[in-house]
């Protein structure tokens, strides 16, 4: 029963962070979703930081992070961006407002699911 319960729990994950960048009325018809496993996304704060890395990219529609699973789902317009650009942005430097520095290597994508 424990194994079954854990398997079912995976299906009902609640997002840690959800950023909707384009409302459904303005979203394009043809969208794609990229799912990434990022060990650095492990709490609400790190999920927000990862989302900040992609929210300015043209074509990103929605960013959803499940920190308990180190999983991020990015819905995007494939005519405006692509998986390689999204991964590059996620893995890019993160601005630390506390000390005004850019941090490198904070997020590393270990698995991509398209």
Q: Is the CB of residue 85 less than 8 Å from the CB of residue 68?
A: no
pLDDT of 6: 47
pLDDT of 10: 54
Concatenating the DSSP letter of every residue in 36-72 gives EE-TT--SHHHHHHHHHHHTTSTTEEEEEEEGGGTEE
What is the mean pLDDT for each group of 10 consecutive residues in the chain (114 residues)? 52 84 88 96 95 95 96 97 97 91 94 86
Q: Can you give the pTM of this predicted structure?
A: 0.85
Tell me which H or E stretch contains 103.
Answer: strand 101-103
């Amino acid at each position: 029963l424990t194994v079954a319960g854990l398997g079912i729990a995976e299906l009902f994950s609640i997002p840690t962070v959800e950023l909707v960048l384009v409302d459904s009325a303005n979203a394009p018809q043809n969208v794609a979703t990229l799912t990434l496993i990022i060990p650095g996304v492990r709490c609400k704060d790190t999920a927000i930081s990862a989302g900040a890395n992609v929210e300015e990219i043209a074509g990103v529609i929605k960013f959803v992070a499940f920190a308990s699973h180190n999983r991020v789902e990015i819905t995007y317009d494939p005519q405006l961006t692509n998986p390689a650009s999204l991964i590059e942005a996620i893995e890019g430097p993160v601005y630390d407002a506390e000390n005004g520095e850019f941090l490198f290597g904070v997020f590393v994508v270990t698995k991509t699911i398209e």
